[in-house]
Amino acid sequence: MSAALDRLAVHTITTKPWTLAEAADRYARRGIGGISVWVEAIEGMTATAARRIVDDAGLRVPALVRGGFFCDPSESERNRRIDRNRELIATAAELGAEMLVLVVGATPGTPLDRQRGWVSDGIEALLPEAQAAGVKLAIEPLHPMYAADKSCINRIAEARHICQRLDHASVGVAVDVYHVWWDPDLELEITRLGETRTLFAFHLCDWRVPTRDMLNDRALMGDGCIDLAGITAAVRLAGFDGWDEVEIFSEEHWREDQDQFLDRIVERYRLLESRHG
Amino acid sequence: MSAALDRLAVHTITTKPWTLAEAADRYARRGIGGISVWVEAIEGMTATAARRIVDDAGLRVPALVRGGFFCDPSESERNRRIDRNRELIATAAELGAEMLVLVVGATPGTPLDRQRGWVSDGIEALLPEAQAAGVKLAIEPLHPMYAADKSCINRIAEARHICQRLDHASVGVAVDVYHVWWDPDLELEITRLGETRTLFAFHLCDWRVPTRDMLNDRALMGDGCIDLAGITAAVRLAGFDGWDEVEIFSEEHWREDQDQFLDRIVERYRLLESRHG
């Protein structure tokens, strides 16, 4: 049975109460193939030590999460943030992560299109390091409800435009169902990402109805309203053969027994795989 | 000075603690030209009685707010809702309202594009009554964070598509800055609405940073991150000469002295007018 979990990865934030070692152990015991590591999960630890933990558990690392945050009115601050991303690329390489996920940032008061220019410039500046390190950069569009202060890229289309402008094999898009499920252009945009080989990551969770908190009320797959089977089918049809990454921020789920929660994640994932496949 | 408020209208929900009579009196005393009436504000009152209140205050009524809610998996329920909208069109006419604002509804578990078909069918069914009553129908796209259970139309583009399909002078779009400010196609879509004479309404408030509640945390113009001067300029450039309607839902502002709050609304509106004009 565990073969079907080969392409499943879980983000450490999903089981936030666990240390990296606990998470790696519990994921591996269930046959989960990957662990996407949040920067917060390796604070106070060297990347080498973190890598030893995931290697010893036999896990692979789809992504280091999260870099980006390119947007600030001050140019020197923007440069500082680019430098911070250089450090994260180095960390990702040491960790053996395939990619660095970029939450691009936003700052209130500057037109969003101008901010997207900063994002494009910031990523462009990182290309030499990313290529040399063999770390891909995945732009993650965030839901429009985060447009004020977290991400000036709120649809796949705007992420794709940056990929097209930079036209570099190291730059692509992370599609998280939570952020894009409502987009009338979703299927079309997934197809386009497939055609341009820029579909780098696929993140799973669900949209709770009602959503009680804008940040930490994501649902387990199947507990919300997103057409996960449909989106997963579209992603497969676009030729995506990477990881299915479960990324759930939820105060409610963090309060639960994390072992039981992880069991349900695996169960819902298997159900999803059986539905769309 | 009050001449500049001729095209300003305030939604009764903005000053929710006031009765209709209190709101009409206070708005009129400041020289505000219009009052958009929420259904909740005239509960337990005949439309004739409500009309007398606003007429006596010398106010005009841009809109009755809100009809719509067309989306339900059950056909008989959808028909019941269409009937409810027929009643609202009659109420709007009795009230002397220029339009009925449509929040189109959404129901979790049905693909959004299918739901948009229900919306189009529902509005189509209302066209004879709307035309006969001389009441315009304004589709209001709601922010994507409401796509699960409040509105399957989340960008101006989808509202425009329905207008194009129905191609009827009674159907247009209500543009509320709160819902659409983040849209990369915003300016283009406003221009298109202008060209097709389907820009029926313009609603003002602001997006608070951070937003603490998904429903009732809207900000006063100038207290948030929306480029109100830019959007207002785009709306004017598109040929819009209708009402500027202030619609703010805010637990914080409802707790304040409503007279002082209304004074600040007027002050911020004048500032906005001086900036974009």
Cα–Cα distance, A21 to A16 (Å, whole number): 12
DSSP single-letter state for residue B166: H
Q: Do B209 and A154 touch (CB under 8 A)?
A: no
pLDDT computed for residue A142 by the predictor:
98
Q: Which residues, at least 6 apart from A86, have a Cβ–Cβ distance to it below 8 Å?
A: A126, A129
Interface check for B227 against chain A (CB to CB < 8 A): the answer is yes
DSSP chain A: -GGGGTTEEEEGGGGTTS-HHHHHHHHHHTT--EEEEEGGGGTTS-HHHHHHHHHHTT-B--EEEEEE----S-HHHHHHHHHHHHHHHHHHHHHT-SEEEEE-B--TTS-HHHHHHHHHHHHHHHHHHHHHHT-EEEE----GGGTTTTBS--SHHHHHHHHHHH--TTEEEEEEHHHHTT-TTHHHHHHHHHHTT-EEEEEE-B--SS---SSSB-B-TTSSS--HHHHHHHHHHTT--S-EEE---BHHHHTS-HHHHHHHHHHHHHHHHHHH-
Q: Would you call B211 an interface residue with chain A, using a CB distance cutoff of 8 Å?
A: yes
Q: Do B184 and A227 touch (CB under 8 A)?
A: no
A125 touches chain B (CB under 8 A): no
pLDDT value at position B45?
A: 96
Predicted local confidence at residue A2, as pLDDT: 47
Q: What is the pLDDT of residue A276?
A: 65
Restricting to B residues 156-195, those with a Cβ less than 8 Å away from any Cβ of A are: 157-158, 181-184
Nearest CA in chain A to B211: A214
Contact B214 A211 (CB under 8 A): yes
| Mean pLDDT, rounded, for A115-135 | 98
Average pLDDT on B74-86 reads 98
Tens-place pLDDT, residues B117-139? 999 999 999 999 999 999 999 99
CB contacts of A186 in chain B (<8 Å) are: none
- The CATH number assigned to the domain holding B33 equals 3.20.20.150
Q: Which residues pair with A269 in a beta bridge?
A: none
Contacts of A133 (CB under 8 A, 6+ apart): A89, A90, A92, A93
Provide the number of structural domains found in chain B. Answer: 1
3-class SS of residue B250: strand
Answer whether B149 touches A (CB < 8 Å): yes
**Closest by Cβ to B108, choosing from A112, A145, A225:** A225
State the average pLDDT for chain A: 97
Q: Which percentage of chain A shows pLDDT scores above 90?
A: 97
Domain that holds residue A139: 2-276
Q: Does B80 score more than 60 pLDDT?
A: yes
Does the pLDDT at position B2 exceed 80?
Answer: no
The partner residue sitting opposite B148, judged by closest CB among A109, A145, A207, is A207
**Among B147, B118, B148, CA closest to A224:** B148
DSSP H or E stretch at residue B65 = strand B63-68
pLDDT at B3 over 80: no
Mean pLDDT of the region B28-37: 98
Contacts of A144 in chain B (CB under 8 A): 143-145, 182-183
B65 forms bridges with which residues in the sheet? B38, B101
Is B143 at the interface with chain A, CB within 8 A? yes
CA distance B143 to chain A (A): 8
Mean pLDDT of A100-124: 97
Q: Does A230 touch chain B (CB under 8 A)?
A: yes
- Separation between Cα atoms, residue A227 and residue A177, nearest integer Å: 9
Per-residue model confidence as pLDDT tens digits over A130-166: 999 999 999 999 999 999 999 999 999 999 999 999 9
Average pLDDT taken over every residue of chain B: 97
Angle, helices A112-133 vs A156-166, to 10°: value is 50
Q: What pLDDT, on the 0 to 100 scale, is given for residue B275?
A: 79
User: Which residues on B lie below 8 Å from A111 (Cβ)?
Assistant: 227, 230
Chain A residues touching B183 at Cβ < 8 A? 144
Chain B interface disruption, residue of A155, A223, A225, most B CBs within 10 A: A225
